[in-house]
Structure 1
Amino acid sequence: MEQQHTQDISYLNRVLQFYPFDILDIHLIESRSGRTTWEVKTNEGEKILKQAQMKPRRMLFIAGAHDHLYKNGLAITPIHKTSSGAICLGAKDFSYVLYDKVAGNEMIYYNKDQMKKIFAFAAQFHISSKGYVPASESKKRSRLDKWHKLYRWKLQELAGNKQLAQSYPEDEFSKLFLMYADKMLERGQNALRALDNGQYEQWTKNSIEERSYCQQDFTLARFTEIDGNPFMRELHSITYDLPSRDLRILLNKLMKKLSVWDTDLAVELLSSYEAVNPLTPDQYKVLWADLEFPYLFCSIIHKYYLSQKRSWGNEKYIWALQNIIAVEDSKEQFLHQYREIVSSIKEGKGGE
């Protein structure tokens, strides 16, 4: 074990020698899901070195976006360039970035004031993302103009899992799933049809022209609170897509934790976003379509029939499905109040 540790440190020192810092100490922080991070003490303060199992060209796309946000004034940690000016390093299937370590207070989903600030931050993130021109060698990623294909694929999988569930008549999870399968398939088809009304196509064209992107996995794990405001500790990934994708992910993630769709809270959070980066009524229609699509339901069904959560027993799977059904059922009132809610958001009445 000691020999392995020595080899690791030797390897890390070879990576860090490309940076213009004197390395005083290296400490492993975390290693999971193809990503490993170390705390690095240098003559110019503490840094974070992240190793990701991804092609260097892909990391170049993300690191360039990180630097773009920083230069545009977003509250995000500075990313460091090597002595020769490279924004990241790579070798075969691994890539490395180095940025400042920042310390602050934890941000949690159950703190409404913090969540309102996160939605305002998301708005600033989307504004700051505009105009990004990645390096020519970058491996870009885009979901723009691919929503129809994604919806259809997920609906086909859900329909296939419905057939699979029918072959397990005594399975409690399958019985619960089948009670809601047709309803969720209908919701997904409604969302798919809503994309054909023109608003999605126009917003997609605008986003392509603006060269804007979204984070695609907006999570509080990447944030800390400094002086009462959100600060992004790292940029995990990005993709060219509509800002509404980040809003949908954030809202779904929060409401799943609350086990119910809180319409008043959703209005307050979207009002915080609107105050910084206003959306048009047509753009809100696209968000409504994406919120109507049963992503959460599709996800738990996918996990169950592929046995992705090996540590979960049947009770936990059933609990998770019941939780998501409660969220999706209570979301329907919100979805049916598009005009009233958007009017309230546009008039700045969120939270009143």
Structure 2
Amino acid sequence: MEENNPIQDETAEEYALTPEEEQKLISLAETIIKNWEVNVTSVEVVQGGQMAIVWKIHTTEGPICLKRIHRPEKKALFSINAQNYLAVKGMRVPGIIPNKNGVLYTKHGPFLFVVYDWIEGRPFELTVQEDLEFIMKGLAEFHTASIGYRPPEGIPIFTKLGRWPNHYIKRCQQMETWKLLAQSQPDDPFSQLYLAEADTFIQEGRDTLKRLLDSEYREWVGTVKATPNLCHQDYGTGNSLLGNDGQIWVIDLDTVSFDLPIRDLRKMIIPLLDTTGVWNDEQFNIMLNAYESISPLTDGQKEIMFIDMLFPYELYDIIREKYVRKTPMLEAELAEAFAYERIKSEALNQLIR
């Protein structure tokens, strides 16, 4: 099996390191790792760039992973302790190796550094049904295993429970604002198509908000607040592995927060279906059935999930890419996004009915 590191694939943030940059990162790792009781034989930069930095530390006892967390300290401490809670509980996440002082991390400058067990395995291939089912079952196991986590005293709780309505409102307002940017670009085909079509989908976003508020959403939020589960928030092939032990491992927990478990399902299912340009009922049902084989959902909970899936998140991301990140975008890309939102809306409305 191929080897993979226990970190999210952040290729979008990657760039080729010069020999000087690589040596500087190796020297940094050699300095940091002295805080751990390990016998280092060599250091390898696995992931450089501006985001999280990852090293594979070869030791006389085998490889371990050193990571620089690219998150504000309070958020990092929430996720570090969450990962340790899950690992100690027996959930298949990389275990955290405490430093010489018995602390789960070492602070150096503004950053926290953490050492993890190195996990050997391969990424999942989502065009293979067995892998698709495996990865969804792993998500369900992650959600159920995380119930009971509370951060240590003094560490803030990061939660998105109850905040979906505000997220919907904010995104609809942003899509309205981006119409003003589009109006300032009369010669840009992308912008002109956006102006011609945007109102329909902004209204759909507002309608989705009303449907969410009319559902059992607030009641479910209240129930989950009493015994919250973690959501990964970035689950997928980059953050899961089929280990050499034949088990699924969930990795890179930097973005975890408390939320309804179906938020992870939406983030996993909808982007995957979006790559095909059609609504694939078979693939949708395979994913949902695999998840429910471990963690069943009620009809009311599934309705909330379908409603959340209705919101034009994928379209929003494309428009944000254009007007916020200033990425050159083709008119055809926007047209495809509009077409998929229509297909998705028809399929989900049938499920809700």
TM-score, normalised to structure 2, is 0.88
- Determine if the alignment matches structure 1 residue 52 to structure 2 residue 69: yes
Cα distance in structure 1, aligned partners of 2:251 and 2:235? 12
Cα distance in structure 2, aligned partners of 1:247 and 1:204? 16
Q: Go from structure 1 to structure 2 and tell me whether the alpha carbon gap of 1:209 and 1:198 turns closer, same or farther (over 3 Å shift).
A: same
1:248-301 CA distances to partner (integer Å, 9 max, x unpaired)? Answer: 100122012222221221122111111110111111121112101101111111
Counterpart of 2:122? Answer: 105
One-letter code aligned to 2:150: V
**1:110: how far off?**
2.5
Q: Secondary structure at the match of 2:257?
A: coil
One-letter code aligned to 2:260: L
**Equivalences for 1:203-242 in 2 at 5 Å?**
203-226=220-243, 227-242=245-260
Identity percentage over the alignment? 26
Number of corresponding residues:
335
Q: Secondary structure at the match of 1:336?
A: helix
1:155-205 CA distances to partner (integer Å, 9 max, x unpaired)? Answer: 011112123323434321123223431221121111100221251111111
- Determine if the alignment matches structure 1 residue 130 to structure 2 residue 147: yes
One-letter code aligned to 2:275: K
How big is the alpha-carbon RMSD for the aligned residues of Structure 1 and Structure 2? 2.2
One-letter code aligned to 2:147: K
**1:228: how far off?**
4.7
Instruction: Point out where structure 1 has 5 or more consecutive residues left out of the alignment.
Output: 341-352
Q: Go from structure 1 to structure 2 and tell me whether the alpha carbon gap of 1:261 and 1:211 turns closer, same or farther (over 3 Å shift).
A: same
Instruction: Point out where structure 2 has 5 or more consecutive residues left out of the alignment.
Output: 1-17
Cα distance in structure 1, aligned partners of 2:28 and 2:179? 50
**Equivalences for 1:87-98 in 2 at 5 Å?**
87-98=104-115
1:291-314 CA distances to partner (integer Å, 9 max, x unpaired)? Answer: 0110111111111122433xx4x4
Counterpart of 1:184? Answer: 201
TM-score, normalised to structure 1, is 0.88
**1:245: how far off?**
0.8
Check the 8 A contact 2:96/2:117 in 1, yes or no. yes
Q: Which runs of 4+ in 1 moved over 3 A?
A: 1-11, 166-170
Q: Go from structure 1 to structure 2 and tell me whether the alpha carbon gap of 1:161 and 1:100 turns closer, same or farther (over 3 Å shift).
A: same
1:302-346 CA distances to partner (integer Å, 9 max, x unpaired)? Answer: 11122433xx4x4xx334323322321221232122257xxxxxx
Check the 8 A contact 1:256/1:323 in 2, yes or no. no
Q: Secondary structure at the match of 2:148?
A: coil
Q: Go from structure 1 to structure 2 and tell me whether the alpha carbon gap of 1:205 and 1:211 turns closer, same or farther (over 3 Å shift).
A: same
**Equivalences for 1:12-91 in 2 at 5 Å?**
12-91=29-108
**1:80: how far off?**
1.1
